[in-house]
Every structure is written in structure tokens, then in C-alpha cells.
Amino acid sequence: MDITLWTSIAALFFLSLLLFFKKKLFTSSKNKTRNLHLPLGNLGWPFLGETLDFISCAYSDRPESFMDKRSLMYGKVFKSHIFGSPTIVSTDAEVSRSILHSDSKTFVPSYPKSLTELMGKSSILLINGSLQRRIHGLIGAFFKSPHVKAQITTHMRTFVCHSMSTWRQDRPIYIQDEAKHIAFQVLVKALISLDPGQEMEFLRKQFQEFIAGLMSLPIKLPGSRLYRSLKAKKEMVKLIHGIIEARREKKTSNVITNDVAEVLLNDNSEELTDELISDNMIDLMIPGEDSVPVLITLAIKYLSDCPAALQQLTDENLRLKRLKEKQGEPLSWSDYSSLLFTQNVISETLRMGNIIIGVMRKAVKDVEIKGYLIPKGWCALAYFRSVHLDDTLYDFPYQFNPWRWQKKDIVNSCSSFTPFGGGQRLCPGLDLARLEASIFLHHFVTQFRWKAEEDSIINFPTVRMKRKMPVYVKRRKDF
């Protein structure tokens, strides 16, 4: 590289610095009064801000240490600069709740560039206003339907029992992989009614390639992680679009809809194009590969480390199984949901596991919440993990204690428990996630005893088990 090119790079670098400080000075002068109301904090280094420190902590076994340190110095709401944007971070339950429940006139979603590239402009995660509310409402109503819950229960039970029937006692079973395999099939069935087979395997392979790029460098050069993920998405869209087109041609006026694609196709809005539906089917598959399997895996991890909880959960599920077999009936979705201690275990797993650590929003205007100012153009990070592990809200927060959910004050305190988000963007599949976890746990504890090998939780960029949660199973003889 010659001296001229080095000189040009240096000149561009110093010009960028000059523009940065000029902008900072201008902003400071223009908003002198406004900045007086900003939360305390530190914006860190130019350009980088505090991103490196945030990521370093995120990879540790205490990701919230970044927040804890600053909360002690500045309070539960503080300013920082992470992922390329000045950010107001909230570890306060009330402030986070206000952020979650604000509409698109106040905040819009903010995600890393690689994620927005992969999701696309029509993704339900990125769109705003009436279209987002319409799609969200249609999907949410579909998953709440008793007919759909019964349908999903049947599919989940079928896939779980088939998978578990192949488990051997002389080799480890990797719970994370097994849960992913099952949950992905269940969700794809609910989304586009695709059965196991070649197309399902092709879709799974392409989806794994796609999801690997969600938190990658925003470089689209051939061979890059993002480029490969975008290519995989095109292959999936092509497959799903073909299914949607075939559905459109055979469209009927059935009262009962069997999958999400059909729900959206039956809507009369011209905005719900085949392309939009196909894109969103892919985005909606993420819980089947990520959040639901991780919820199941973490529940097995925590139960393995807490014999008392495991015994109570097993006794509860064995009682129900004996009752239903005596009655000669299979378990219904309401039976699985009626397992109170099992639901407490799932709640405690969600609280401790923090599969979704928080959400980021960008302010479209100056916003004041609880006396704090979030300036227009700044991001707001509602950090769930710090709230869920706050010792002023939960006694001994790092202790797995499903019995805490028997207390009414915790159950009723929805602002301090937000594992599925909240407001207009509350996860529409929250009931489905709990149902799938309940079914898996029921069949696992009533069919097997197990011994778990040592494993640890990785918290960044997504929550997962380092060794995929290996266990050695032994079929029960007492049933």
C-alpha cells in the first residue's frame, strides 16, 4: 500500500473525528437545556462507545455486570453508547414497562444492521403502525384459539413421543438438539402445515444457515456470513412462496383455519401480499429454532440441579398421567396447562434464563419517562435480565426457586416479569411456548430418569448451552 493511500485513509479518519466532535458540540449547544435532564452515565469512546465492555460482560457468566456496575454509579436508568448509538439503558421495571407499552409515535424498533438486513422491511419485527397491529392481532388470535391449541398439542405430543422412542440408554441425549428438532417441526406445521420430509429437512438446513447471520458483521460480500444467510433466506422464500401461491389458487371460505399462512391469506387487506406473508413465515420460525428449545433445555438444566423441584414436578405429572390413563383419555392442552407446579417451573426458568435479555427501541421524538429524558434519535434499551435478577423484587434472585411463583404478589407484578416483552409487540406465541414446554417436560419426566453431565450456559449473542445439555436417560419402570 503506497504512502498516498495511507495519507488518504488518515485524512478520512481525522475528518470523521472532526465531524463527530463538531456534531457533538452542536448537539450539546443546541440542546443545552434538554441535556440537563438526561440520566447520568458515560458515552465512552468516540464511535465505539462502551460496546466492547458490554460485549465482554455479555460473554461472562454474569452478563448483567455491565448494567450492575453502572446502576450503582448512576442509578437504574443511565446513558451509554452501545452498538453505534447513544442509548438510555433501563434496569428499572416501571421505566422498561413504559418503553414496552409506548406506540410507534414514540418509539420504533431498533436492531443491529445485520438483523434488519436479514429480516427485511416487511418483517413484523420492524414494521409499525396499523399493519403491524393487524398482523400481530391475527397471529395472536390464531394461537389463542382452543382449536389451534388442541391441534398443536396433538402435533407436539406426536413429535415428542416419536423422538423419545428412539432415545438409547447407552449414549448421551443432547436435550438442546432434541428440543430444536421437535419445536421447529411443530412451529412449521403451525405456520404453513408442512409435514416432516424432504422439504422440512431442506427448510431446516436453510433456516440454520439463515439464523447464524442474525448477529454478524454487516458485510454482504460473497462468502461472508451475512451473504450466506441472505442466500439461504432466498431459498426459503422461494419454497414458502410456492406454498402460498398454491394456497391462493385453492383459496376457500373455510370457517376453521389450520395455520398462520391461511389466516393471513384469508385477510382482505391488500397490504398482506404473498411476498410479505412468505417473509414473515420465516421470521416467525425463529422461536422454533431458538427461544422455545432453549426454554425447554434450561428447564431440564435447572431441574437437574434442584432435586426437590424435580421430584415435585415429576409427582405432579405422574398423578395426571395415571388419572388420564384410568379415564382412558389422552391429555388435552388444558390438562398440560393445569399443571400448576410445572407452570411455576417454566416461569422460574424464564425469569432466570432470560432467553430474551431485553429490547431496543429508537425514540422518534423527545420522550420523558418517570422524570428521565430520552432524546429524539437515541435508543432506549429495556434490559429485562437486570429486572428479573433484582434482589429488591425477587428474594435470592440467582437461586432457582419455582415455589416463589406461589406468592400472589409476584404473580400479579407483571411489570417486573416480562420474558415475552410487552405492549403492542408482546410475543403472540407466548401461550404456545408454555404449552410446548409443558408437553415436553411431562413426557420427559414420566418416561425417564436421567443423569445430566456438566454443562454451562452461554448468554451471548444468544442464550444456549455450551455442550447442548447432554444427559444419560434410563426408562422408568414404575409406570
Domain ranges of the chain: 1-30, 129-346+423-475
Q: Is 373 helix (H, G, I), strand (E, B) or coil?
A: strand
Q: Is 38 helix (H, G, I), strand (E, B) or coil?
A: coil
pLDDT of residue 21: 43
**Cα 355 from Cα 346, distance rounded (Å):** 12
Q: Which amino acid is at 173?
A: I
Q: Tell the CATH topology of 129-346+423-475.
A: Cytochrome p450 (1.10.630)
Q: Say if residue 22's pLDDT is above 50.
A: no
pTM above 0.85, yes or no: yes
Kindly state the percentage of the chain with pLDDT values over 90.
72
pLDDT of residue 384: 96
Kindly report the number of other CB atoms within 10 A of residue 250's CB atom. Answer: 7
Q: Do strands 379-383 and 85-90 pair parallel, antiparallel, or not at all (unpaired)?
A: parallel
Q: Say if residue 31's pLDDT is above 80.
A: no
Please give the mean pLDDT across all residues of the chain. Answer: 88
Segment 198-223, tens digit of pLDDT? 999 999 999 999 998 988 888 889 99
Segment 394-453, tens digit of pLDDT? 999 999 999 999 986 665 566 789 999 999 899 999 999 999 999 999 999 999 999 999
pLDDT of residue 15: 38
In the structure, what pLDDT confidence band is assigned to residue 81 with cuts at 50, 70 and 90?
A: very high
**Cα 334 from Cα 337, distance rounded (Å):** 5
More confident residue, 112 or 261: 261
